[in-house]
Amino acid sequence: MSAATTDQATLAPGGALGGMPLDSLMACPQCDALYVAEMPAVGERAICARCHTVLIAPKRKAGFKIIALTLAVIILVVAALFFPFLTISAAGFGNNASILDSASSFQSGPMVFLSLAVAGMIVVIPLIRTLLILYVLIPIVGDRPPYAHAKRAFRLTQELKPWAMAEIFAIGCAVALVKVADLAHIGFGPAFWMFAVLVIIVLINDNYLCTWSVWKSLELDQREA
Amino acid sequence: MTAREAGLVACRRCARVWPMGTERCARCGSHLQSRDTGSLSRVWALWIAGVICYIPANIYPMLITQTLLSTSNSTIVGGAVELIHHGSIGVALIILAASVLIPMGKFLAIAYLAISVRRGSDVSAARRHHLYEVVEFIGRWSMIDVFVVAILSSLVQLSVVASIHPGSAALTFALSVIFTMLSAQAFDTRLFWDTKDQGQNQRNDTT
Ligand SMILES: [Zn+2]
Ligand SMILES: [Zn+2]
């Protein structure tokens, strides 16, 4: 997957584009370099020759994989919310906290804002993104016209991407564990392991999504409709 | 060759190109601008908000720990020093990196990048773009300390034996991270490449 070979093979720099239809071109969103868009072979990626941003990364049967992964995520999130996440015990006292407990631990005055932000970053935004991706992809995979507002939905998933922080929260658990190690004993509840699986799935999910291909299919469907 | 040189305006969301002057991308609905001219002032405004929030985040306590014998307030740096005393040097380094090194590095990097766009720079556009990508990738990880506070204060509620409450620094620190992330996102990265291309035509992919 070396950048140079792949992009020469698949993306002709848009130097001689007299009369090329605009929808056969693409510009690197990061550096504005213009290319003739051509689908690379499955497993290869088209990479901007100038700034090395990945432009197109088609995956074999990506649609089915994404939908299977997404269903798994939803099941896991629901399960993770209703099981204890971490448990603690010290000197005969015990307590356990679910993921939602952690998110709602800031309760006095302006700290409520923090509760909302944390709940959003670790549960709500990852969940909304996943549901929206599902909403956009199901018709594409089934070769049917997209559902209403599919474009707005897909744009939102891209805008929300940096704010989904489930994987950072997972590492935070490990840090919390060490921090109170000599104060009390902490154990992992069933939800912790579900959450760990969820994090891996979310990461795979994003890596299996070629946004350019999705936009392309949304555009094609619109024209035929 | 760039889209702008070809008389086209590119969509940053979906990579589609349109004739220069088109206002909205018909494929994804995004607002189109060949170069985001208001980008730098938004970067600076959010940068300043981030720096201002970072100051109280270091002065006020992040965690308030109550045990049978004592109540202790720990700041970000204080908490890390405590961890070192307990021998958890690895975790202390993670906390220091996420809460001190990364935020400071981000402030410096964003300021440098914003100045370089306006004044020009000897450092190549590719290098500066790479720095930007590192800032974007790493910035989110500063939230880890806020999450640790959230986990500890919901979990460690053991009656009189031990309880942990969030301090006000948790809020200002979270705000600082959020503002800095927004500041980095406000950048129009295409501006790095323009200054580089001005005057000479040395790019290997321009024909
Ligand atoms: Zn590029
Ligand atoms: Zn677009």
B184 is a domain residue? yes
List pLDDT tens digits, range A25-82: 899 999 999 988 888 887 788 899 888 888 998 876 666 777 777 777 777 777 777 7
B94 in the same domain as B51? yes
List pLDDT tens digits, range A130-169: 888 888 888 887 778 888 888 999 999 999 999 988 888 8
B82 is a domain residue? yes
Phi, psi of A38 (to 5 degrees): -135, 135
Interface check B89 vs A, CB under 8 A? no
Domain that holds residue B14: 1-34
Q: Chain-wide mean pLDDT for chain B?
A: 85
Spatial distance between the Cα atoms of B89 and B172, rounded to a whole number of angstroms: 26
Specify the range with the lowest mean pLDDT, choosing from A24-33, A105-114, B36-45: A105-114
**In the 8-state DSSP scheme, what is residue A92?**
T
Single-letter residue type at A102: S
Mean pLDDT of B92-111: 89
Measured CA to CA in angstroms, residue A76 lies from A71, A80, A81 at distances of 9, 6, 9
* Residue A170 C-alpha, separation from nearest chain B C-alpha, in angstroms: 9
B129 is a domain residue? yes
Q: Domain spans of chain A? A: 1-58, 62-224
B206 is a domain residue? no
Per the DSSP assignment, residues forming a β-bridge with B31 are B24
Measured CA to CA in angstroms, residue A55 lies from A36, A45, B49, B158 at distances of 12, 7, 33, 52
Q: Chain-wide mean pLDDT for chain A?
A: 78
| 3-state class percentages of chain A: helix first, strand second, coil last, to nearest 5 | 55, 10, 30
B182 in the same domain as B164? yes
B42 in the same domain as B27? no
B163 is a domain residue? yes
Single-letter residue type at A169: F
Q: Record the pTM.
A: 0.85
Residue of B nearest to A87 (CA): B155
List pLDDT tens digits, range B166-206: 888 999 999 999 999 999 999 999 988 885 445 444 333 43
B202 is a domain residue? no
| Reported ipTM exceeds the 0.90 cut | no
B97 in the same domain as B6? no
| A157: nearest Cα among A132, A194, A135, A124 | A132
Among the partner residues B2, B6, B155, nearest to A97 by beta-carbon distance: B155
DSSP for A147-212? PTTHHHHHHHHHHHGGG--HHHHHHHHHHHHHHTTTT-EEEE-HHHHHHHHHHHHHHHHHHT--HH
Interface check B148 vs A, CB under 8 A? yes
B204 is a domain residue? no
- Answer yes or no: is pLDDT of B207 > 50: no
